[in-house]
Amino acid sequence: PSLLESVNMADMDTETSTQAVVGEEEPLFSNLDLFLFSLIVGLVIYWFMSRKKPEPIPEFKKIDTPETSFIEKMKKTGKNIIVFYGSQTGTAEEFANRLSKDAQRYGMKGMAADPEEYDMGELSRLSEIKNSLAIFCMATYGEGDPTDNAQDFYDWLQENDDDMSGLNYTVFALGNKTYEHYNAMGKYVDKRLEDLGAKRIFDLGLGDDDGNLEEDFVSWREQFWPAVCEHFGVEASGDELSIRQYELKEHTDINMNKVYTGEIGRLKSFEVQKPPFDSKNPFLAPVTVNRKLNKAGDRHLMHLELDITGSKIRYESGDHVAVFPTNDSVLVNKLGQILGVDLDKVISLNNLDEESNKKHPFPCPTTYRTALTHYLDITHPPRTNVLYELAQYASDPKDQENMRKMASSSPEGKALYQSWVLDASRNILAILEDMPSLRPPVDHLCELLPRLQARYYSIASSSKVHPNSIHICAVVVEYKTKTGRTNKGVATNWLKNKLVTDNGHKSTVPMYIRKSQFRLPFKATNPVIMIGPGTGIAPFVGFIQERGWLKQQGKEVGETVMYFGCRHKNEDYIYQEELEEAEKNAVLPQLHVAFSRDQDQKVYVQHLLKKNKENIWKLIHNDNAHIYVCGDARNMAKDVQSAFHDIAEELGGMTRTQATDYVKKLMTKGRYSQDVWS
């Protein structure tokens, strides 16, 4: 009994013993005394016994934790080259895998590694391994930021001053010229390692995704390996054969409960959902609204609402929602048909390198259908290494020759890849259809295709107003290619078909939140200038909701200014009702809309900015306004920035250089934020 129970029992005993002794001689010890005495003795014995007992040694089951020391792993497996990747959409990881495979062709042994999984403090120890080299394939994300998996490595580089004098390294950077901070992460790693005393054995490679990232990589790689061979005094083995990384295992009688059906991380995670939800464990959010936003025109702009009730997911206005789409079943079935494959066969692809942290290229065991639907990218034009590896399966020597040529760095080969694959937007299915002699084994194709990636959208709601709901605004991608085929955007077409109820079932979207730096000012009294044409309006729908909510709370809210743009007022003026309502309620005192095609000469948001230059300059220069730009990076964001340069030059009495510096300073102070894509 608990102590409280014991005391209550003692009380009862007192009562009964009192009744019992009426008219009798009182015994030497009352029942209560005996009880309390027994209790004390009992407690003493208990304390004595429990004190003497040796602590049982807990049995530890050996948990299979991955090795965090890459040095030990390299020593154990005889590897001398390690390729670290900072990857957000999978491309840098793909390049890292290609480089680690290349090493074998040059008589060396390489491994690709995720910096998040290893202790990067060991870099200075790499010199313990003979002829060692660290290669860094580093992508830049957002506004010059590291990718999620390289954030800790970036922080470590900034904080540490370890002596790296024994480290041989090289960097290939992946970026996009349309962005302000082109290849910032790759440039930083390259410079920082040099500052710490490491030896750069080949020049920094700069890949530009706005041009031809694949070509940039292939050209850099062609010069890189001869430089490595020269540095270490080794000769290329000339072994140009295809090297398989995984072996196929077909499962004939397997319990289907052990088979992955599209889960990203844990098996059955879509059936039994457990928070926290992230990129490895997405939440299945039911779709509660899916409506077309535009009134007319040939495009389909849509607004979706995802229900996150009970998920413990938190978000802020300006964050991104990541969704995991699936490929069109029509494409998957055609691939199965053309390769003569039973798509429902259960398989595993197992890494031939047993020491590798990456046991499979995608969750296994699974079926070919699931792999091609959920896990593999079958819609992007394949990279040159895929063509090179598949060439051996073409029965027509001419096809073989062309595929190998496209993967070479010869000007003729590059031009052929550019025109036949990229300009023609040929995906793997189109290549197989247009090359009837090419029929690779499906397992090798599955090994080579890149992973299907999550897609990011700017959230179009405020959590203050919609704590249990996340809104998405997107335009469906669909276009005709030069070969006459219709290509459809994977995620937007998948979202378009997410009806609220599908045959009585709720449609769900696997999702998680990615935090962003795109935030409303800390002080609500700061004015905000928002510029977001087209679907670039998304985060500002959330911002306007939030400013309205702050006003309702009785807070003093600064001037809220919106510059929106679309083609025609009566076609694609999306969120018109919401914007005009906010204007009427003085939540949005200034609403400026550019209808680019409603008159002879085109009018865009940057023209309206210049038209209202006095007001803009006063808000920025005197009232400490924050500027936000969202949408197309290639043209709009640049033109808008240039409009601000013009305004600063004209009204601030500055030279062009001073005006440019003025805007740059606003950016570093966090008063000019961009959420742009190309």
| Rounded alpha-carbon distances, angstroms, from residue 296 to 199, 239, 570, 571 | 60, 58, 7, 5
Does residue 169 have a known ligand-binding role? no
Does residue 473 have a known ligand-binding role? yes
Rounded to a whole number, what is the distance in angstroms from the first to the last CA of the chain?
70
Does residue 364 have a known ligand-binding role? no
Please say if 162 is a catalytic residue. Answer: no
Structure tokens at 332: 């998957």
Quick one: which H or E segment has residue 168? strand 168-175
The residue annotated as part of the active site, out of 220, 630, 632, 673, is 630
Does residue 200 have a known ligand-binding role? no
Does residue 178 have a known ligand-binding role? yes
Please say if 617 is a catalytic residue. Answer: no
Does residue 597 have a known ligand-binding role? yes
Does residue 641 have a known ligand-binding role? no
Quick one: which H or E segment has residue 145? strand 145-146
Q: From CA 418, how far away is CA 408, in angstroms rounded? A: 12
Does residue 567 have a known ligand-binding role? no
Does residue 566 have a known ligand-binding role? no
Does residue 602 have a known ligand-binding role? yes
Q: Where are the alpha helices (DSSP H) in 247-367?
A: 329-338
Beta strands in 421-476, from DSSP E residues, in sequence order:
455-458, 469-475
Read off the amino acid at residue 441: P
Does residue 606 have a known ligand-binding role? yes
Question: Is 294:301 a contact under the CB 8 Å cutoff?
Answer: yes
Q: From CA 395, how far away is CA 403, in angstroms rounded? A: 12
Does residue 490 have a known ligand-binding role? yes
Does residue 489 have a known ligand-binding role? yes
Q: From CA 15, how far away is CA 11, in angstroms rounded? A: 6
Does residue 68 have a known ligand-binding role? no
Does residue 643 have a known ligand-binding role? no
Does residue 180 have a known ligand-binding role? yes
Does residue 181 have a known ligand-binding role? yes
Beta strands in 455-596, from DSSP E residues, in sequence order:
455-458, 469-475, 478-480, 486-488, 501-502, 505-506, 508-514, 528-531, 560-566, 590-595
The secondary structure of 121-139 as a DSSP string is GGGGGGGGSTT-EEEEEEE
Does residue 209 have a known ligand-binding role? yes
- Tell me the three state secondary structure of residue 210: coil
The residue annotated as part of the active site, out of 348, 356, 458, 461, is 458
- Classify strands 528-531 and 560-566 as parallel, antiparallel or unpaired: parallel
Does residue 177 have a known ligand-binding role? yes
Does residue 179 have a known ligand-binding role? yes
Question: Is 462:542 a contact under the CB 8 Å cutoff?
Answer: yes
Does residue 175 have a known ligand-binding role? yes
Does residue 596 have a known ligand-binding role? yes
Structure tokens at 643: 């409009």
Does residue 371 have a known ligand-binding role? no
Structure tokens at 113: 């590694």
Quick one: which H or E segment has residue 610? helix 605-611
Does residue 10 have a known ligand-binding role? no
Does residue 512 have a known ligand-binding role? no
Please say if 566 is a catalytic residue. Answer: no
Read off the amino acid at residue 414: K
Please say if 675 is a catalytic residue. Answer: yes
Does residue 121 have a known ligand-binding role? no
Question: Is 593:316 a contact under the CB 8 Å cutoff?
Answer: no
The residue among 500, 493, 502 whose CA lies nearest residue 329 is 493
Does residue 677 have a known ligand-binding role? yes
The secondary structure of 476-517 as a DSSP string is --EEE-TTSPEEE-HHHHHHHT--SEETTEEPEEEEEEE--S
| Rounded alpha-carbon distances, angstroms, from residue 64 to 61, 67, 196, 425, 569 | 9, 9, 35, 44, 61
The DSSP secondary-structure symbol of 618 reads: I
- Tell me the three state secondary structure of residue 414: helix
> What positions carry a catalytic annotation?
458, 630, 675, 677
Which residues are part of a known binding site? 87-92, 139-142, 174-183, 209, 299, 455-458, 473-475, 479, 489-492, 535, 596-597, 602-606, 639, 677
- The annotation places the binding site for NADP(+) at 299, 535, 596-597, 602-606, 639
- Which positions make up the binding site for FAD? 455-458, 473-475, 479, 489-492, 677
Annotated binding-site ranges for FMN:
87-92, 139-142, 174-183, 209
